[in-house]
Structure 1
Protein backbone atom coordinates (compact mmCIF):
# COMPACT_ATOMS: atom_id res chain seq x y z
CA UNK A 1 0.00 0.00 0.00
CA UNK A 2 1.34 3.45 -0.91
CA UNK A 3 1.38 6.04 1.87
CA UNK A 4 1.37 9.82 1.45
CA UNK A 5 2.11 11.60 4.71
CA UNK A 6 0.58 14.87 5.95
CA UNK A 7 4.09 16.17 6.62
CA UNK A 8 5.15 17.55 3.23
CA UNK A 9 8.82 17.08 4.14
CA UNK A 10 8.31 13.33 4.48
CA UNK A 11 8.66 11.30 1.29
CA UNK A 12 5.87 8.91 0.24
CA UNK A 13 6.49 5.31 1.25
CA UNK A 14 5.00 1.84 1.01
CA UNK A 15 3.89 -0.67 3.61
CA UNK A 16 2.24 -4.06 3.58
CA UNK A 17 -1.50 -3.65 4.22
CA UNK A 18 -1.56 -6.38 6.86
CA UNK A 19 0.36 -4.00 9.15
CA UNK A 20 -2.19 -1.19 8.81
CA UNK A 21 -5.51 -0.48 10.51
CA UNK A 22 -8.04 1.89 8.95
CA UNK A 23 -8.97 4.47 11.59
CA UNK A 24 -10.66 7.13 9.45
CA UNK A 25 -12.48 7.44 6.19
CA UNK A 26 -10.13 7.38 3.20
CA UNK A 27 -11.38 10.84 2.15
CA UNK A 28 -10.74 12.40 5.58
CA UNK A 29 -8.27 15.24 5.67
CA UNK A 30 -5.61 15.31 8.35
CA UNK A 31 -5.08 17.74 11.18
CA UNK A 32 -2.35 19.67 9.39
CA UNK A 33 -4.74 20.40 6.53
CA UNK A 34 -7.35 21.85 8.90
CA UNK A 35 -4.74 23.84 10.85
CA UNK A 36 -3.60 25.32 7.54
CA UNK A 37 -7.20 26.18 6.57
CA UNK A 38 -7.79 27.84 9.95
CA UNK A 39 -4.54 29.77 9.58
CA UNK A 40 -5.70 31.14 6.22
CA UNK A 41 -9.03 32.27 7.67
CA UNK A 42 -7.33 33.85 10.67
CA UNK A 43 -4.86 35.72 8.46
CA UNK A 44 -7.72 37.05 6.31
CA UNK A 45 -9.49 38.40 9.41
CA UNK A 46 -6.26 40.00 10.62
CA UNK A 47 -5.69 41.69 7.24
CA UNK A 48 -9.30 42.94 7.08
CA UNK A 49 -9.06 44.20 10.66
CA UNK A 50 -5.91 46.17 9.85
CA UNK A 51 -7.64 47.74 6.84
CA UNK A 52 -10.70 48.56 8.95
CA UNK A 53 -8.59 50.07 11.73
CA UNK A 54 -6.75 52.26 9.24
CA UNK A 55 -9.98 53.34 7.57
CA UNK A 56 -11.55 54.25 10.91
CA UNK A 57 -8.54 56.35 11.86
CA UNK A 58 -8.69 58.26 8.59
CA UNK A 59 -12.47 58.63 8.27
CA UNK A 60 -13.27 61.50 10.63
CA UNK A 61 -12.09 64.99 9.75
CA UNK A 62 -8.64 63.87 8.74
CA UNK A 63 -6.92 66.82 7.13
CA UNK A 64 -4.55 64.65 5.10
CA UNK A 65 -5.08 63.69 1.49
CA UNK A 66 -5.54 60.07 2.56
CA UNK A 67 -8.94 60.64 4.14
CA UNK A 68 -11.23 57.63 3.81
CA UNK A 69 -14.87 58.32 3.09
CA UNK A 70 -17.57 56.55 5.07
CA UNK A 71 -18.59 54.37 2.11
CA UNK A 72 -15.10 52.85 1.98
CA UNK A 73 -15.20 52.34 5.74
CA UNK A 74 -18.49 50.46 5.36
CA UNK A 75 -16.92 48.19 2.71
CA UNK A 76 -13.93 47.49 4.97
CA UNK A 77 -16.25 46.68 7.90
CA UNK A 78 -18.37 44.36 5.73
CA UNK A 79 -15.26 42.49 4.57
CA UNK A 80 -14.05 42.11 8.14
CA UNK A 81 -17.50 40.90 9.24
CA UNK A 82 -17.59 38.30 6.43
CA UNK A 83 -14.13 37.08 7.41
CA UNK A 84 -15.14 36.74 11.07
CA UNK A 85 -18.28 34.82 10.04
CA UNK A 86 -16.19 32.39 7.96
CA UNK A 87 -13.83 31.92 10.91
CA UNK A 88 -16.71 31.26 13.31
CA UNK A 89 -18.36 28.86 10.84
CA UNK A 90 -15.07 26.96 10.67
CA UNK A 91 -14.86 26.79 14.48
CA UNK A 92 -18.50 25.64 14.73
CA UNK A 93 -17.80 22.86 12.22
CA UNK A 94 -14.73 21.86 14.22
CA UNK A 95 -16.71 21.69 17.47
CA UNK A 96 -19.29 19.52 15.68
CA UNK A 97 -16.53 17.10 14.70
CA UNK A 98 -16.66 17.87 10.98
CA UNK A 99 -12.90 18.37 10.61
CA UNK A 100 -11.42 14.90 10.61
Structure 2
Protein backbone atom coordinates (compact mmCIF):
# COMPACT_ATOMS: atom_id res chain seq x y z
CA UNK A 1 0.00 0.00 0.00
CA UNK A 2 1.34 3.41 -0.93
CA UNK A 3 0.91 6.59 1.03
CA UNK A 4 -0.22 9.49 -1.11
CA UNK A 5 1.08 12.90 -0.17
CA UNK A 6 -1.47 15.56 -0.90
CA UNK A 7 -0.40 19.16 -0.99
CA UNK A 8 -3.23 21.56 -1.64
CA UNK A 9 -2.45 24.59 -3.74
CA UNK A 10 1.03 23.52 -4.80
CA UNK A 11 2.30 25.88 -7.48
CA UNK A 12 5.41 24.83 -9.38
CA UNK A 13 8.26 27.31 -9.54
CA UNK A 14 9.16 28.16 -13.10
CA UNK A 15 12.60 29.42 -14.00
CA UNK A 16 13.19 32.43 -16.22
CA UNK A 17 13.82 30.06 -19.13
CA UNK A 18 10.35 28.53 -18.70
CA UNK A 19 8.64 31.90 -18.34
CA UNK A 20 10.41 33.30 -21.41
CA UNK A 21 9.42 30.33 -23.57
CA UNK A 22 5.82 30.48 -22.33
CA UNK A 23 5.62 34.24 -22.94
CA UNK A 24 6.87 33.75 -26.51
CA UNK A 25 4.51 30.84 -27.17
CA UNK A 26 1.47 32.66 -25.75
CA UNK A 27 2.31 35.62 -27.99
CA UNK A 28 2.37 33.17 -30.92
CA UNK A 29 5.91 34.08 -31.94
CA UNK A 30 8.94 32.13 -33.08
CA UNK A 31 12.33 33.11 -31.69
CA UNK A 32 13.09 34.86 -35.00
CA UNK A 33 9.81 36.81 -34.90
CA UNK A 34 10.34 37.79 -31.27
CA UNK A 35 13.85 38.92 -32.08
CA UNK A 36 12.57 41.11 -34.89
CA UNK A 37 9.74 42.55 -32.77
CA UNK A 38 11.86 43.20 -29.66
CA UNK A 39 15.23 44.15 -31.11
CA UNK A 40 16.86 41.46 -28.95
CA UNK A 41 19.10 39.02 -30.84
CA UNK A 42 17.72 35.55 -31.59
CA UNK A 43 20.80 33.99 -29.99
CA UNK A 44 20.10 35.95 -26.79
CA UNK A 45 16.50 34.74 -26.77
CA UNK A 46 17.68 31.15 -27.29
CA UNK A 47 20.21 31.49 -24.43
CA UNK A 48 17.48 32.80 -22.11
CA UNK A 49 15.15 29.93 -23.05
CA UNK A 50 17.93 27.38 -22.49
CA UNK A 51 18.83 28.92 -19.13
CA UNK A 52 22.32 30.00 -20.18
CA UNK A 53 23.60 33.17 -18.56
CA UNK A 54 21.78 36.16 -17.15
CA UNK A 55 20.12 38.54 -19.60
CA UNK A 56 20.38 42.31 -19.25
CA UNK A 57 17.37 44.03 -17.76
CA UNK A 58 16.98 46.11 -20.93
CA UNK A 59 16.56 42.88 -22.88
CA UNK A 60 13.92 41.61 -20.45
CA UNK A 61 12.04 44.91 -20.69
CA UNK A 62 12.01 44.69 -24.50
CA UNK A 63 10.97 41.03 -24.43
CA UNK A 64 8.17 41.64 -21.92
CA UNK A 65 6.87 44.52 -24.03
CA UNK A 66 7.08 42.52 -27.27
CA UNK A 67 5.25 39.50 -25.81
CA UNK A 68 2.74 41.49 -23.75
CA UNK A 69 3.61 39.88 -20.41
CA UNK A 70 4.15 41.69 -17.14
CA UNK A 71 7.84 42.56 -16.64
CA UNK A 72 7.75 41.72 -12.93
CA UNK A 73 6.32 38.28 -13.72
CA UNK A 74 8.95 37.65 -16.38
CA UNK A 75 11.77 38.66 -14.03
CA UNK A 76 10.56 37.00 -10.82
CA UNK A 77 7.74 34.57 -11.58
CA UNK A 78 5.44 36.46 -9.20
CA UNK A 79 2.04 37.54 -10.47
CA UNK A 80 1.19 41.24 -10.30
CA UNK A 81 -1.20 40.45 -7.43
CA UNK A 82 1.68 39.00 -5.41
CA UNK A 83 1.12 36.05 -3.12
CA UNK A 84 -2.54 36.65 -2.34
CA UNK A 85 -4.52 33.69 -0.94
CA UNK A 86 -6.73 33.50 -4.04
CA UNK A 87 -3.70 33.13 -6.30
CA UNK A 88 -4.16 36.60 -7.68
CA UNK A 89 -7.06 37.73 -9.73
CA UNK A 90 -4.83 39.64 -12.13
CA UNK A 91 -3.64 38.07 -15.35
CA UNK A 92 0.09 38.18 -16.07
CA UNK A 93 -0.57 39.14 -19.68
CA UNK A 94 -1.30 42.77 -20.46
CA UNK A 95 -4.12 43.75 -22.78
CA UNK A 96 -2.39 44.94 -25.94
CA UNK A 97 -5.41 47.06 -26.88
CA UNK A 98 -6.99 48.38 -23.68
CA UNK A 99 -10.27 50.28 -23.81
CA UNK A 100 -10.17 53.87 -22.59
CA UNK A 101 -11.65 54.44 -19.14
CA UNK A 102 -13.93 57.31 -18.22
Q: TM-score with structure 2 length normalisation? A: 0.27
Larger Rg computed on CA atoms: 1
> Which structure has the highest helix share of the two?
1
Asked which structure has the greater RCO (Cα within 8 Å, sep 6+), the reply is 1
